[in-house]
Structure 1
Amino acid sequence: MATAEQNSSPVVEPSKPRLLKVLGPGLITGASDDDPSGIATYSQAGAQFGFSITWTLLLTLPLMAVIQEIAGRIGRASGLGLAGVISKNFPAWVMQTIVFLLFFANIINIGADLGAMGDAVKLIIGGPSTIYVVIFGFSCVLMQVFMKYKRYVSVLKWLTISLFAYFGTVLAVNVPWSEALRGLVIPTFNPDPQFWTVVVAILGTTISPYLFFWQAAQEVEDLGEKPTRTALIDAPKQAPKALARIRTDTVVGMAFSNLVALAIVITAAATLNANGVTDVQSSAQAAEALKPVAGQFAFSIFALGIIGTGLLAVPVLGGSAAYALGEVMKWPVGLARPPKEAKAFYATLSIATLAGVALDFTPIDPIKALFWSAVVNGVVAVPVMAIMMIIAVRDDVMGKGSIPTWMTVVGWTATGIMALAALAMGALSLM
């Protein structure tokens, strides 16, 4: 059965396996959510609180799946990226403020991710980590600027395979599965303020603003690359197949993301927490701590996973910032455009990534910087999600892509939970 969304004129496309055709923006977005900074958060959660915190990943799955599907719908329905839609329907200062904060948070995340990747290579083969940081940073920029869009998307899809390293890690260690299952399905409400700080960090890691912007932008990119697709506001007949594809892509991507996160938490709980190692400050430190308690194999594949997921996440972070700023400034944007047609877009992408590289050469504490990045992400996520919910029910913007009642309920629930999480993070930081 063909999965290409049909225009009103009959167009026959070459047959491809259904899953390969369907999976795209949602899969890449979900996989990029498990970046080295996220790995550090999940490792710390498992090391500090063991299996008692795994239930949070079951909670976040439906919330992130719905919010990311809404982001994808907005791009596919309107033919505009998220920043473009917001700029068109809200006062300019709203999007300008969001873009400034998003840019700030993304640069810090890029710096932290590149630093973790450099440290991971150093752990495996030795040498100066800063050299690896520079190599990774420039490699990400060069691929985005000079590689053809279709090939680049293919590379990102292949990089998602690196996350299977964490399934290998969890299978390589001795896990008390009955205890792990109990922690997953029976919520634990620990009165320790540190427990709730970690819960808030997990929410902020799994539901991040840059993911919204990236997925919406990739849906718009696909409209340009696939001539049978038209924005749903102009082609309502395409809506059933388009929305079914977006849902499948997003659910698979977010489920994959959360399963990887769960594997990391379980690995840390079964090894680090079980052996009294409860303080993990970075993903590379988590890999190093695994070595004496879980062996060389678990250490190696955990460290290799950091490199692979970093190569996936850094371009998404830089790209989402460039899409957002470019749409606000009304520049030509898109990775499918040649560099000479989108100079400002590619310059923004390059500046964001290389600023992240530069961050690793400053005396700024990356762990503290990452904390403030998480705070900014948590604060920015709430208004962005609220705006998305307002847009997603507007027929004049979404056409047949407007969301049903049940998605409205879940979306506003996710927004409310993120608002509470942002308030809790602020309160806990003052304690």
Structure 2
Amino acid sequence: MLPQSLLTSPSPTPRRRAGRRFWQHRTFQNLGPGLITGASDDDPSGIATYSQAGAAFGLATLWTALLTFPLMAAMQEMCARIGLVTQRGLAGTLRQHYPRWVLYGLLTLTFPAIVLNIGADLEGMGAVAHLLVPQVPTFAFSVLFTGLLLLAIVYYPYQQLAAMLKWLCAVLLVYLVVPFLVKQDWTSVARHTLIPEVHFTKDFMGMLVAILGTTISPYLFFWQANMEAEDMQHRSIVEGHGRRVVVNKRLLRTMQADVNVGMFCSNLIMFFIILTTGVVLYAAGIHQIDTVEQAASALKPLAGESAYLLFAVGVLGTGLLAIPVLAGSLAYAMAETFHWRGGLDRKFGQAPGFYTTIFVSLVAGVLLDTLGVSPIQALIYTAILYGLTAPVMIALVLHLANNKAVMGDYANGRTSNLLGGITLVLMSAAAILLLYLQFFA
């Protein structure tokens, strides 16, 4: 007979117990829509933009991470609060309180922008996977990722899909490691982070506009509100036995913490990507980076195999996280606009229009390359469409969040309005500058 010590499992070490307590801690368990939304903002096309910023201007744009964090957090908190209070998504709330043409106009710009964004992300993921496995063509990888994502979105109910997306957020941690694999001048990093550096040139101003447009994207507004509404509906089934759950200060505090953590993570990853490419590529004289695979390839001989692999794995992980958010935000907006049954908790037969929108957006995205639309063109068109949509969306969100008839006691406070107003001014100026740079400069 075996000794009793071999028949029983060994007691977990103090370090393992501490790790288990962290993952089971209520604070971590309460992270959800905000964390996923923030992490999905660092998609492959966003990584390409931040890599361009670092390669072209070194550390000169690091300070933008400090600027965009409070603005992102304020806007996403408003959208989340609207979703909590109304228990509808943003499109459904807009449909109820605004003329139909407003929502139709937004969708006219949002649909192609999201499809182009999905296309750029799938192409980026395929190209990076091709770097890792050269025997398989880029397009084959893009089709494979599209199939896997469609299967996951259709097969898994909301809670399981949300849990998978939540764990995929951990992939972003690789970008916190990469800068420590190369030598850094941390004094210079601190100076460029805390002291804004602005060059009044076409290229630098265009990069600032690109960073703002990539970081504060309208599709995140739709997703955040819908996820909070979906969470409330799920909570009403589990906790309220089908009765509507009343919003209270505890729920609001949990939501605000979730949003703040998510937006902080998003901007932290943005900071480290600019830092990595700014130190490695810019210092080596590589100033033109157009795609994520170019950034990964350029890192390999300069920063080593480990940095290259981590950067590449991060691109694949963020794509798997971001594309369901992009497609889902569009499907929710379409379903609420046209009164379709929708929601990730429903099966395909219960919400055919909702899932068809996801299918069409993913397939259209993967086919863009066959139509002659390159990832660079897709990013340019996406930036223009987001640039036109963002100021209007921000103004509408601000108006809704201040509407007592909609929000009751949970309408905006002074700080939210101040940060929202600054965001509106900045994004409006960015949209005007973007159009000028694209068509007149």
The TM-score, its normalising length taken from structure 1, stands at: 0.94
Residue aligned with 1:238, SS: coil
Q: Secondary structure at the match of 2:169?
A: helix
**CA–CA distance in structure 2, aligned partners of residues 339 and 209 of structure 1:** 26
| 1:235 CA drift (Å) | 7.4
Which of 14, 34, 42 is equivalent to 2:50? 42
Pairing partner for 2:269 from 250, 260, 274:
260
How many angstroms apart in 1 are the aligned matches of 2:286 and 2:426? Answer: 30
Match of 1:216 in 2: 225
Indicate yes or no: 2:73 matched with 1:65: yes
Q: How far apart, CA to CA, are the structure 2 residues paired with 1:215 and 1:55?
A: 26
**Aligned partners of 1:28 and 1:156 also within 8 Å:** yes
The answer for the alignment partner of 2:334 in structure 1 is 325
2:408 to 395, 399, 411: 399
Partner Cα distance (2:170, 2:357) in 1 = 28
The residue aligned with 1:133 is: 142
Once the two structures are superposed, the pairs formed by residues 3-402 of structure 1 within 5 Å of their partners are 17-126=25-134, 127-227=136-236, 238-402=247-411
C-alpha displacement at 1:292, in angstroms? 1.2
CA-atom RMSD in angstroms: 1.7
Secondary structure (helix, strand or coil) at the match of 2:59 reads helix
CA distance in structure 1 between the partners assigned to 2:237 and 2:427 by the alignment: 37
Q: For 2:361 and 2:65, how far apart are their aligned partners in 1?
A: 30
Farther-moved stretch of structure 1 (357-366 vs 345-354): 357-366
Q: How far off its partner does 1:375 sit? A: 1.0
State the AA in 1 paired with 2:125.
M
Identity fraction in percent: 41
- Displacement of 1:313 in angstroms is 0.6
Question: How many aligned residue pairs are there?
Answer: 415
Say which one has the larger Rg: 2
Q: For the residues of structure 2 that align with 1:363 and 1:134, how far apart are their CA atoms?
A: 16
Distance 2:280 2:216 in 1: 27
SS at match of 1:273: coil
Change (3 A) 1:196 1:251: same
Tell me the alpha carbon deviations over residues 119-178 of structure 1, each in whole angstroms, 9 at most, x when there is no partner.
111111212111100010111111111112211111101110111111111111222111
Shift of 1:20: 2.5
Q: Aligned with 1:274: secondary structure?
A: coil
Unaligned runs of 5+ in 2: 1-22
Q: CA contact under 8 A between 2:34 and 2:261: conserved in structure 1?
A: yes
Q: Report deviation, 1:378.
A: 1.2
**Which has the higher mean CA deviation after the structures are superposed, 390-399 or 260-269?**
390-399
Deviation at 1:230, TM superposition (A): 9.7
Tell me how far apart the structure 2 counterparts of residues 272 and 53 of structure 1 sit (CA, whole Å).
15
